Amino acid sequence: MIPENMIRFFRLLIQPLRLALLMLAVCVASLAQADSGNGGDEIFGGQILSLTEEKPALAPSNDPRFLDNKDGTVTDLKKKLMWKKIDIYQEKKIWINWDESQTYLGKFNKEAFAGYSDWRLPTREELESLYEEDKNVPWKYYWTENVIHIDPIFGYSSCCFWSSEVYKEKYAWGFNYIRGKTYPSMKGGPGLSLSTIRPVRAIMDTDLAGVTK
């Protein structure tokens, strides 16, 4: 029978070995990314190659609720909201915290994205209004494989989005389209929180005059 102190010794010996192997894997992946010249998703400060694969085209949306405005926006005719079609992670391949989202919103409004300068973060209720359990968009990120419950008109959407609502000063509410749940997260946390934004603006009935699907 192996003495208990010997078992503890081997456990202590194996622990740094595991860490060394992990660091080696990160370095190898980083070199592979540099050699390939292909961009990768940011994790561990951008030092690991993305394992995401090329995505096939999604089936087009057939929901009359949504209208593709062909200018980078989608109008929700039911809720009278205009959304940015592609979220920031889809566009930039970076996750952002809540504080950083304010900078992006300022840029959208300064540049009058799609001709408008009243873009904002959605409320939790507005984010939840896009969640539809019977709609499934594959979401693969590194070793995870899930399903996003959102209309395919938004493409391969990200999973988690910031809302405009603050919680206890240092936190803000987000929404998860995999689980259909809200969650609080640190506003100024690291950019690896798998959170992004989809700017939104309200529209008036007069804006919908003559609109057809």
Q: What is the pLDDT confidence band of residue 139, given thresholds at 50, 70 and 90? A: confident
Long-range CB pairs of 58-67, under 8 A, 24+ apart, other chains included: 58/137, 58/152, 58/155, 58/156, 59/152, 60/152, 60/153, 61/151, 61/152, 61/153, 63/151, 63/153, 64/213, 65/151, 66/151, 66/153, 67/211, 67/213
Domains of the chain: 1-50 (no CATH), 66-208 (3.10.100)
Where does the pLDDT of residue 164 fall: very low under 50, low under 70, confident under 90, or very high at 90 and above?
very high
Segment 32-74, tens digit of pLDDT? 333 334 444 444 444 333 445 677 889 889 999 999 999 999 9
